[in-house]
Structure 1
């Protein structure tokens, strides 16, 4: 019996362990940190041996196949030893895909992944398709492959998951946009990060589809030196597209394989230019799967926004409070500020991932009246914006940040939590950060 070792005891790791056991592997799960009690119970019930707070190399380096948590960097000592031994390393996504015949729709990009994945799932679900939602969102893909029998999976895929791809082959792949993110994981080499994103299409063939953003400069650059065997379907806010989707400022028009339909932009559930693009990408996928226009249109009209992504919280004394905690990079904040139509008190900061804030300067000059820094080290933010915005204050807790923002605001303003950074200096994750924000706003 072949030995399968899972590194990481979170949702994806436990799911991979359950699938591995089901398909006949001798499974062992190892986590350098603590495993949640609920997962330990599930592993025990499934008679899957595991360890926590350590990695026993003698067991791990004796594996035939290792499924690695996306959070473990390739440069870690253990991974380097695994590579030296030439043991196969895969992501949970790669592993699970080999044990399902369902059609896979895989979505990546620096921004908008969660929204577009959820929106695409909403379209397929509304149309009555037997569809699962997985990847970086929802229940583990491997777990669903083990226990469900879906015909389609809509998968949100991060660059970390794509780093360990060998044979993963989605029927429909999307790259929504590319901007600098997670550069600390890619030796601060932007090209390494870009190449990682485009591995989503490397195994596709002429019977598959690749949806991409025609307006994105990094995507256009990539196509100058690379190609995909899949049929290309671009979307654009700026130019007419012959096979894909585009906007004429009032409508979005889907024109796919001589089949055309359009809907008014003001009918879309999601606002902002970036969400017009996300709606186009999701709609193209629906059209490729022969979903009727009425279902696509209705789904784009009644979709509810994702939590922690430009989520309206409350209006207090005429000041809007907006939770965009999921904005963990500069480009996400660019889209958030672009969509704001009121003066902004901007709460920003956290664990810097190699951010360059200069691309935000124009929007900050036009829209931001005050900045509230929320992080352990705010030096880069202060240096960039202190000569542009007169009020810049530093805080070290969500309570202080919300109170400071409220005191700086006046009727007609918006307080926007859009951090541009990871959350790990003061919070467990971006959800914890967003939830604390909402809690403190409600206490005002």
Structure 2
């Protein structure tokens, strides 16, 4: 009985590489709480989700709101949560947010235990909404004209407003880099800068730009990306501004006067309802979660398998919160440089899929065992299709890594599908019923 869990590696974007998302794993669990969605029992089963919400320094965040398919929970004093919901074959959208932090959204296809969600710390500025204000951080500058902000009832706000701004690393932004463009087409994205901006009045009520009121933004190219990819400046690749819809887990292209430079992107926030594909009205939702991205219409995907590793290779201490095996990725972006991302997998993750990645480029995938893991864990083979490039794979006392071509586009966008049109699961991987044109296997000997 198998269950698929998906987890994303956000898109790499050093120079606007259209990275892809590192997603999900099919899983089996031998723990006291099963993470399996058993075939034939989907309508009756429950999906269980547990995890910890932390800040960028690893400190637990109590009082964060975790919403999963409409069910709300609040993290305890240790930043932990537990959610059980009715199994849903279409999957689960998990939102995590707390005032003072940037929100995080993930898609999961099945229950997941011991997840860790990192909320980016927000910079909070107090402003007088009746005068012109400029909020600036290391990554973004937002200019809000006087008398532009309104409350939820649409009434002008005149007392103190708190504006929160948080930025996301290119591979750590919300969602899985799946988006809908202005023509209504589903595409993949590669980030060249992402941030969240929100505002509240003195009583904590939500504040936004009034109808057709505008604010100007300059979003700097992230340090990992270094400089705006030449293809954007030369208009050889399509880039635009996208606003995140956390109810659908999709980025939606917006009319925002996109104007890139070598160091960042100028664009306009316009108050009013966010536009939808095919209906670029003069408003774009104003404040919210935004991303400057390169559009990819033909991404690749890669299957990563873990075979034969003992539980001690994931959790040598026997801790109730296992440290897991670290997965290390280096994915090439549009500028031909590599973006780095790490994440962890537990013993129930028998495979993961990297998707929405750039096609036909070299990529590096490796694993590192946690401190205290038996030396025998590193006794393994690393094989790939296509074959590894010269000098790879490389084995170390604590793991190993390899570099190989990502392969041709798989023919779709988002999580790869099997021959029946369903999201691939472990049984598909075992029989080769998946469309990805690259694969790597870490196998214990």
Give the alignment's TM-score, normalised by structure 1. Answer: 0.24
With structure 2 as the length reference, what TM-score do the two structures score?
0.24
